[in-house]
Amino acid sequence: MTVGVISAIPEEFSKLQWDNEPRTETIINKIFQFGSINGVEIIAAECGIGKVNAAMTTGLLLGHFGCSSIAFSGVAGGVNPKYKIGDVLIAEQLIQHDYGAIVEGQVISAIPGSFPSLVDSDDDTAYMMSPEMRAILQSEVGSLAHFGRIITGDTYLACTETRQMFFEQFGADAVEMEGAAIAQVCTNWHKPFVVIRVLSDLAGNDSHVDFDQFVDDSSKKAAVILNKVLPVLDAWE
């Protein structure tokens, strides 16, 4: 089986730890690399930023290349105040925070693809990791990573007030721009997925400063965790 690996930006993509020099192709303006990581056959793609880029690339990996599963390796902004820059999060739940309705200034999230409701409900709009997958990954990564709720949207968060709102409304641990779109596509294809994020900033007013300073180290750390995740996805049925 072949596992598809996605990163959004060059800083993330360049940190993948290939066993040997991969073969590189450009397809529909996306960079694809072919090789192995930690003994697992890989097709990796630098998808570009945002949900549409992530969804399109996931569809290519699953539909065109026939990948059996998808892993994302990259960085995110911290939302939960208990986490700090450099902490590793594996998405146990993924939510598209910008899909739904806005009613009287309140965002009412919805399951992507459904008709947004104007009334808040208790319906869970998260894409969930199975308990079986979580247990196996936990045994592989140990104390190196936390499992949590990551939210996704097509805006870069650099606002302390909005970060607090996301924490209160969604119970979010981190925020990024691709993960839940990958989850949506994989769910429709009935394929497993794992999203690995290392905090490069804390999504507040100074996040752009922290991001520039920590994106490389955080991307390297994500690639290390990816090495532990790939054999699990490769063996998953």
Query: Which residue has tokens 């999230």?
Result: 109
Cβ 113 vs Cβ 127: under 8 Å: no
CA 24 – CA 111 distance, rounded (Å): 36
CB atoms closer than 10 angstroms to residue 53: 21
Which among 80, 128, 79, 126 has a CA at the least distance from the CA of 100? 126
Which among 4, 2, 7, 1 has a CA at the least distance from the CA of 223? 7
For the question of residue 12 being annotated catalytic, the response is yes
The token pair that represents 113 in the structure block = 């693809």
Domain locations in the chain as residue ranges: 3-235
Q: How far apart are the first and last CA of the chain?
A: 10
Give me the pLDDT at residue 204, please. Answer: 92
Cβ 82 vs Cβ 208: under 8 Å: no
**Architecture of the CATH domain 3-235:** 3-Layer(aba) Sandwich (3.40)
DSSP 8-state class, residue 60: I
Which of 173, 176, 201, 210 does the annotation list as catalytic? Answer: 201
Which of 11, 12, 46, 92 does the annotation list as catalytic? Answer: 12
Per-residue pLDDT tens, the chain, 237 aa: give them: 899 999 999 999 999 999 999 999 998 889 999 999 999 999 999 999 999 999 999 999 999 999 999 999 999 999 999 999 999 999 999 999 999 888 887 788 888 888 887 777 656 789 999 999 999 999 999 999 999 999 999 999 999 999 999 999 999 999 999 999 999 999 999 999 999 999 999 999 988 888 999 999 999 999 999 999 999 999 997
Length reported for the chain: 237
Which among 79, 88, 112 has a CA at the least distance from the CA of 98? 112
CA 172 – CA 189 distance, rounded (Å): 26
Query: Vertex 182, ends 61 and 156: CA angle to 5°?
Result: 125
What sign does the dihedral 193-198-199-200 (CA atoms) show? negative
What sign does the dihedral 31-37-43-49 (CA atoms) show? negative
CA 109 – CA 97 distance, rounded (Å): 6
Give me the pLDDT at residue 171, please. Answer: 94
For the question of residue 201 being annotated catalytic, the response is yes
Cβ 198 vs Cβ 214: under 8 Å: no
